């Protein structure tokens, strides 16, 4: 039994080696897994399912080969690709998840999230998040021409990269973590977003708990493998042997 979790790949045409690493991961591991969960930010930017980016189709085809082989693949939206919709899901065979999903692995109830909603100390980001996730704003954005959407996305991306905030602002708030876990009645939370891979052993309400943070795919690939022995965070070499 192996369930695989990844997030924050930020796939982009400017980093083809990361896309190649992800496709190798799908071919070498995912097809033999019980399930694959992608917890957001699969892509660096996503302005709509109608954007004809060749790399998006390459990834969709690779995912489709996995789902066709019989391995279910699930996707939770991230802050970079929350506009991924039903067309891409159909092309790739992905099952779209909500912002919060509880799954069961061997009797363990596990809450899955992307993680940006847990960074409640970043007040300006949370305000921005509420605006851009508003259903009316999303509907209007999708009506804009592709060139306009690309320009808006480029400006937002540049502004995000230029922002320098203290670590405690960009990391999760412990109170928000405990609130989400209590609301879901779980003792295990898996999320990404912060790019700080770790398995945190916690205690709250008198019980042991786990918060597992998935890593990003920049210098190395990052995978959480959940087997009969439990969870293990591992890395993948981005460059293939011989490169």
pLDDT tens per residue across span 96-145: 999 999 999 999 999 999 999 999 999 999 999 999 999 999 999 999 99
Determine the structural domain holding residue 70 and report its residue range: 3-237
| 166 φ/ψ sector (left φ>0, alpha ψ -120 to 50, else beta) | beta
Q: What is the pLDDT of residue 243?
A: 52
Q: What is the pLDDT of residue 241?
A: 46
Confidence of residue 82 (pLDDT cuts 50, 70, 90): very high
* Mean pLDDT of the 68-87 span: 96
Q: Structural domain tally of the chain? A: 1
pLDDT tens per residue across span 202-222: 998 888 999 999 999 999 999
Which CATH number does the domain housing residue 187 bear?
3.60.21.10
227 has which bridge partners?
230
DSSP 187-236: SEEEE-SS---EEEEEEETTEEEEEEEPPPSSSEEEEEEEETTEEEEEEE
Residue tagged 């405990």 (tokens)? 178
Sign of CA dihedral 11, 15, 21, 27: positive
pTM of this prediction exceeds 0.85: yes
Residue 50 lies in a domain: yes
Residue 77 lies in a domain: yes
pLDDT tens per residue across span 153-163: 999 888 877 77
Q: Quote the distance between the C-alpha of residue 193 and its chain's center.
A: 7
Dihedral of the alpha carbons of 5, 84, 23, 231, in degrees to the nearest 10: 0
pLDDT tens per residue across span 59-71: 999 999 999 999 9
């Amino acid at each position: 039994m192996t369930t695989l979790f990844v997030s924050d790949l930020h796939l982009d045409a400017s980093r083809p080696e990361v896309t190649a690493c992800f496709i190798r991961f799908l071919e070498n591991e995912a097809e033999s897994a019980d399930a694959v969960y992608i917890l957001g930010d699969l892509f660096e930017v996503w302005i709509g399912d109608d954007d004809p980016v060749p790399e998006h189709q390459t990834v969709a085809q690779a995912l489709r080969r996995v789902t066709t082989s019989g391995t279910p693949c699930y996707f939770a939206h991230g802050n970079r690709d929350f506009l991924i919709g039903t067309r891409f899901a159909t092309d790739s065979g992905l099952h779209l998840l909500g912002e919060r999903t509880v799954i069961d692995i061997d009797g363990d109830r596990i809450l899955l999230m992307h993680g940006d909603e847990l960074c409640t100390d970043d007040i300006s980001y949370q305000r921005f998040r509420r605006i851009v996730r508003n259903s009316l704003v999303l509907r209007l954005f999708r009506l804009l021409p592709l060139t306009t959407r690309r320009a808006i996305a480029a400006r937002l991306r540049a502004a995000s990269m230029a922002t320098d905030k203290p670590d405690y602002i960009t990391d999760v708030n412990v109170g928000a973590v405990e609130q989400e876990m209590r609301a879901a009645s779980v003792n295990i939370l898996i999320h990404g977003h912060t790019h700080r891979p770790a398995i945190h052993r916690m205690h709250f309400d008198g019980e042991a708990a786990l918060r597992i943070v998935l890593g990003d795919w920049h210098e190395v690939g990052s995978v959480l493998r959940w087997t009969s022995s439990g969870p293990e965070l591992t890395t993948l070499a981005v460059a293939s042997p011989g490169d």
